[in-house]
Amino acid sequence: MRHGDVPFVSLYADARADPRFLLEGKLAVAQPTIADARAALRDHFGYQSFRPGQDTVIGAVLAGRDAVAVMPTGAGKSVCYQVPAAIMDGLVLVVSPLISLMGDQVRGLKEAGIRGSYLNSTLTPLQQEVVMARALANWYDVMYVAPERLREPRFRSFAAQVGIPLVAVDEAHCVSQWGQDFRPAYRDIRGFVDSLPQRPPVVALTATATAKVRQDVVALLGLRDPVVQVNGFDRPNLSLASFELTPKRRQAWVANYVRAHADQSGIVYCTTRKKVDELAEALREQGILTAAYHAGHTAEERAEAQRAFIADDAPVMVATNAFGMGIDKSNVRYVINWGLPLSLEEYYQEAGRAGRDGEPAECYLLWSKGDIRTCHYLIDSTEFAPELTQEACQTVLANRERLLGEMIGYAMSTSCLRRRILRYFGQDLSGVPQECGSCSACTGQTADKYLQAPSRGTFGAIGTGSRAQAVGAGYVDDLPPTDEDEALFQRLRALRKRLADEAGVPPYIVFNDATLRAMVRMRPQTEEELLQVPGVGTRKLERYGSAFLAELK
């Protein structure tokens, strides 16, 4: 097994001691198998089994095939290239548009004992040279780069030398003009891959499901006979609710909710910057530590707000949709939308930032007739490029109105919200029950009823329906937690926060909420037992095991 901070010399010595490795002084490894991948999933991530689709994608790339992974946010796309990186010889190259996230991703990998690096414009030219030199000396398993990098001659000559067994294209929908986040530089990926001395397999990952985008991904990335894995879009651990609430009543509702969930992390999305500032101020006045984020704030303000939220210093983030692209904080327990997004794609993306760890989480849509007027107004004031014909403008407007119509239909729906979303995303609904039993349409939950419900942590706060759902999906144990469990969970959270602050990483990188919940359930007393807990791998056991065992005793 490799370690994040083993110096080059000893790594090389270790490798040479292993007879599998030597080939004329070069490192070479026997072709890894899916069994190796499973072992790596256990060792590095502490998970006993792959989630649906992960094994298909990993199996494909290990066999040298291209692959496409279409999976909703939170399904575990990263594992599809991180596990291969841990067991394949050479440097797995990850193309990602999310420069601001690369540092976090590399730190997360380090915690899992995988040697990551990144190359982007936040590094000085000298630092970039150092990273490339180290990569050539086999210091890393993974390197993250922005797509623009692939054009550079210096990078191309580096890539030709370093030995790349796999190229992963994250947020692959960015290659398509039909998607919302088109990045022209994604069109260079194909040429780059073809320019490598030996074309490695390419794995493309995205959460965007429409068929048109999927076709573009395959064609424009030049994928060769790829294995295509499309996961279902259901997120059984999310309970969905839509409440019609006037803005006046909304403020009290949100403040109550946030106060009742002060020990949890959540996001409130507002449609205007002004509302973000007002609501954040109102929550602060009530003594709630609140981070606020929108494009009108300075870069420093935004960075600090994001830091405070990710480090669990501020439990709640109030933001416009400028916040969240690429945020992979896994322990977000609720997302509240104040007002209507302009499409269900946008809504499900925002709501989907809750519960990425698979633990129960809640998504509330709060809207009123006034919000519908605001949305129409926003669409009417769409700005068009001057060269666009009248007809083209009309088409765009009609399209946006159609998307909004679907959003409004969802907000007002009196039938199951979950089914409605799944149908919208084109999912086959045979086998899905008529009622999910956990959304506000199924349970008849209203804004007022909620307000009165006693709240005790995540479990107390959600309806039995969604808990039953989550149990059915194998996410949580079916025994209701006791007060004692909840107290232990809070102690483990506090310990996690302390260790995370010491290590300078976000708390969810130490262990996610699902792992802490499992510790509460399983009460491990020995290192061996602790290793059985999902999310505890050997690396994290070494680092954090004794502290958590002490707390559990």
Rule CB under 6 A: choose which of 275, 356, 400, 420 binds ligand ADP.
Answer: 356
Report the candidate in 257, 289, 333 with the shortest Cα–Cα distance to residue 508.
333
Instruction: Closer to Zn ion by CB, 455 or 466: give it.
Output: 466
Q: Exposed (0-12), middle (13-18) or buried (19+): which is 432, by Cβ within 10 Å? A: middle
Closest distance between ligand ADP and the C-beta of residue 117, in Å? 19
> Does the protein bind ligand ADP through residue 537 (CB under 6 A)?
no
The partner in contact with residue 517, picked from ligand ADP, Zn ion, none with C-beta cut-offs of 5 to 8 angstroms by kind, is none
Q: Hey, what amino acid is at 86? A: A
Rule CB under 6 A: choose which of 74, 200, 463, 537 binds ligand ADP.
Answer: 74
Look up residue 32 and give its DSSP letter: P
Distance in angstroms (rounded) separating the CA atoms of residues 410 and 523: 42
Residue 274 CB partners (closer than 8 Å, separation 6+): none
Could you write out the DSSP letters of every residue in 86-122?
A: HHSSS-EEEE-S-HHHHHHHHHHHHHTT--EEEESTT
Q: Give the alpha-carbon dihedral of 295, 296, 300, 306, to 10 degrees.
A: -50
Rule CB under 6 A: choose which of 57, 58, 77, 214 binds ligand ADP.
Answer: 77
Closest distance between ligand ADP and the C-beta of residue 50, in Å? 5
Determine phi and psi for 234, rounding to 5 degrees. Answer: -70, 140
Per DSSP, the three-state class of 332 is strand
Closest distance between ligand ADP and the C-beta of residue 391, in Å? 38
Closest distance between ligand ADP and the C-beta of residue 326, in Å? 10
The partner in contact with residue 436, picked from ligand ADP, Zn ion, none with C-beta cut-offs of 5 to 8 angstroms by kind, is Zn ion
Instruction: Closer to ligand ADP by CB, 306 or 443: give it.
Output: 306
> Which one of the spans 69-77, 178-186, 299-307, 519-527 is the region binding ligand ADP (CB under 6 A)?
69-77
Q: First vs last Cα of the chain: how many Å apart?
A: 30
Instruction: Closer to Zn ion by CB, 146 or 439: give it.
Output: 439
Distance in angstroms (rounded) separating the CA atoms of residues 476 and 518: 8
Instruction: Closer to Zn ion by CB, 404 or 442: give it.
Output: 442
Alpha carbon distances (Å) from 211 to 68, 341, 346, 395, 410: 13, 23, 17, 20, 22
Determine phi and psi for 156, rounding to 5 degrees. Answer: -65, -40
| Residue whose structure tokens are 């494909």 | 60
> Does the protein bind ligand ADP through residue 78 (CB under 6 A)?
yes
The partner in contact with residue 357, picked from Zn ion, ligand ADP, none with C-beta cut-offs of 5 to 8 angstroms by kind, is ligand ADP
Within residues 39-68, the interface with ligand ADP by CB under 6 A covers 47, 50-51, 54
> Does the protein bind ligand ADP through residue 357 (CB under 6 A)?
yes
Residue 79 CB partners (closer than 8 Å, separation 6+): 41, 45, 50, 51, 54, 58
> Does the protein bind ligand ADP through residue 148 (CB under 6 A)?
no
The partner in contact with residue 530, picked from Zn ion, ligand ADP, none with C-beta cut-offs of 5 to 8 angstroms by kind, is none
Closest distance between ligand ADP and the C-beta of residue 74, in Å? 5
Distance in angstroms (rounded) separating the CA atoms of residues 495 and 493: 5
Report the candidate in 459, 243, 530, 238 with the shortest Cα–Cα distance to residue 368.
243
The partner in contact with residue 79, picked from ligand ADP, Zn ion, none with C-beta cut-offs of 5 to 8 angstroms by kind, is ligand ADP
Report the candidate in 341, 314, 322, 273 with the shortest Cα–Cα distance to residue 100.
322
The partner in contact with residue 3, picked from ligand ADP, Zn ion, none with C-beta cut-offs of 5 to 8 angstroms by kind, is none
Judged by the rule CB under 5 A, the positions of this chain that interact with Zn ion are 416, 418, 436, 439, 442
Distance in angstroms (rounded) separating the CA atoms of residues 123 and 323: 24
# residues contacting ligand ADP (CB under 6 A): 18
Instruction: Closer to ligand ADP by CB, 283 or 317: give it.
Output: 317
> Does the protein bind ligand ADP through residue 94 (CB under 6 A)?
no
Instruction: Closer to ligand ADP by CB, 50 or 257: give it.
Output: 50
Compute the Cα dihedral for 17, 18, 23, 27 and give only its sign: negative
Instruction: Closer to ligand ADP by CB, 78 or 290: give it.
Output: 78
Pairing of strands 22-23, 26-27: antiparallel
> Does the protein bind ligand ADP through residue 491 (CB under 6 A)?
no
The partner in contact with residue 418, picked from ligand ADP, Zn ion, none with C-beta cut-offs of 5 to 8 angstroms by kind, is Zn ion
Question: For residue 123, how many other CB atoms are within 10 A of its CB?
Answer: 15
The binding track of 231-260 with respect to ligand ADP, each residue x by CB under 6 A or -, is ------------------------------
Instruction: Closer to ligand ADP by CB, 165 or 355: give it.
Output: 355
Give the residue nearest to ligand ADP (CB). Answer: 76
Instruction: Closer to ligand ADP by CB, 95 or 411: give it.
Output: 95
User: Which residues are near ligand ADP by CB under 6 A?
Assistant: 47, 50-51, 54, 71, 73-79, 328, 330, 356-357, 512, 534
